[in-house]
């Protein structure tokens, strides 16, 4: 028996879409307003702290803004943002590309999970900063060492979240697909993978955050250009305002990256239940 969509059903669906778009449009000004209020409060608190402790310890918002303009004018800040952003995106992207299939295999095949689990559980507790020296010795001070460290900090997070997504699929769904004659590949593609997508997105977001933690330590040791190198150089010259510029830029860059990831995932993967 097949169901047919009546004109009334189509009209109701169209009306629901219009209502959702209307709610989204009406909520946008409120969201933007709350963001602006939150930022304003943060700037006021920042200014009060700068007045309380002095410029030697806390750079004021005005001093930080002037320093940001100077670093932008001579190209230091744009070059640092580009260098750090490129390293993060490459290392994080490789972590996602490798972590997802490994997590799917470990979740689907107990033998693979038992073989790889000791290594996953061992290495994920060793922070990337512990491997900075070895990365520089083995790979040099070029881009490879930084990218590998970011890959290292990303791949385990994505893998573990993917495994959790696979194992969360109900046994009844797997048996139902098998009883209908679905092959192992079809079960993975049509049942397991769609149910795992929200976990993969969560793992990717967490891995992105950890990538920003890693990039600073990697660039402090083995980079001439980058936000981590900028912060370290500023410390050596006693420029607290430059340090604040580097820290704030890291936060803004991370906010932008995560926001873009959320928008892309929520729009492109909504049918899989991704809601961010």
The number of domains in the chain is 2
pLDDT at 157 over 90: yes
pLDDT digits (tens, 9 = 90+) for 217-260: 888 877 789 999 999 999 888 899 999 999 999 999 999 999 99
Q: Residues 2, 132: one domain?
A: no
Mean pLDDT of the chain: 86
Q: How far apart (Å, rounded) are the C-alpha atoms in residues 2 and 125?
A: 54
Structure tokens at 142: 């070029």
pLDDT digits (tens, 9 = 90+) for 101-116: 999 999 988 999 999 9
Q: Residues 109, 144: one domain?
A: yes
pLDDT at 27 over 70: no
Secondary structure letter of residue 189 according to DSSP? I
Asked whether 103 and 163 are in contact (CB, 8 A), the reply is yes
Q: Find where tokens 């002095």 sit.
A: 54
Q: Residues 32, 63: one domain?
A: no
Q: How far apart (Å, rounded) are the C-alpha atoms in residues 105 and 101?
A: 6
Higher pLDDT, 271 or 80: 80
Record the pTM.
Answer: 0.83
CATH number at residue 267: 1.10.3720.10
Q: Residues 78, 17: one domain?
A: no
pLDDT at 2 over 60: no
Q: Residues 9, 97: one domain?
A: no
Higher pLDDT, 31 or 24: 31
Asked whether 135 and 208 are in contact (CB, 8 A), the reply is no
Q: Residues 168, 198: one domain?
A: yes
Asked whether 234 and 250 are in contact (CB, 8 A), the reply is no
pLDDT of res. 188 = 76
pLDDT of res. 136 = 86
Q: How far apart (Å, rounded) are the C-alpha atoms in residues 186 and 89?
A: 31
Q: Residues 42, 67: one domain?
A: no
| Domain housing 44 | 1-53
Q: How far apart (Å, rounded) are the C-alpha atoms in residues 188 and 208?
A: 26
Q: Residues 131, 172: one domain?
A: yes
Q: Residues 28, 162: one domain?
A: no
Q: Residues 179, 74: one domain?
A: yes
Q: Which of 53, 70, 87 is the C-terminal boundary of a domain?
A: 53
pLDDT of res. 133 = 86
Q: How far apart (Å, rounded) are the C-alpha atoms in residues 192 and 181?
A: 16
pLDDT of res. 25 = 52
pLDDT of res. 183 = 72
């Amino acid at each position: 028996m097949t169901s047919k969509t009546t004109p009334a059903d189509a009209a109701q669906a169209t009306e629901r879409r219009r209502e959702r778009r209307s709610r989204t449009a009406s909520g946008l000004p409120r969201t933007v307003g709350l963001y602006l209020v939150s930022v304003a409060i943060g700037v006021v608190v920042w200014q009060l702290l700068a007045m309380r402790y002095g410029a030697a310890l806390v750079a004021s918002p005005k001093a930080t803004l002037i320093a940001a303009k100077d670093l932008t004018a001579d190209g230091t800040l744009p070059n640092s943002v580009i260098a750090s952003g490129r390293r993060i995106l490459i290392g994080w992207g490789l972590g996602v590309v490798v972590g997802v299939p490994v997590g799917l295999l470990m979740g689907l095949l107990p033998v693979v999970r038992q073989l790889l689990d000791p290594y996953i559980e061992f290495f994920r507790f060793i922070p990337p900063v512990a491997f900075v020296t070895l990365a520089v010795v083995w790979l040099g001070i070029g881009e490879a060492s930084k990218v590998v460290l970011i890959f290292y900090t990303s791949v385990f997070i994505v893998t573990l979240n993917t495994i959790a997504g696979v194992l969360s699929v109900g046994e009844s769904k797997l048996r139902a697909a098998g009883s209908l004659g679905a092959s192992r590949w079809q079960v993975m593609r049509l049942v397991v993978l769609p149910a795992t997508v929200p976990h993969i997105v969560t793992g990717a977001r967490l891995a992105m955050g950890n990538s920003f933690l890693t990039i600073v330590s990697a660039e402090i040791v083995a980079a001439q250009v980058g936000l981590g190198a900028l912060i370290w150089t500023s410390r050596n010259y006693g420029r607290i305002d430059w340090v604040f510029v580097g820290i704030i830029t890291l936060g803004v860059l991370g906010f932008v990256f995560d926001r873009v990831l959320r928008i892309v995932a929520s729009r492109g993967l909504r049918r899989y239940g991704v809601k961010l």
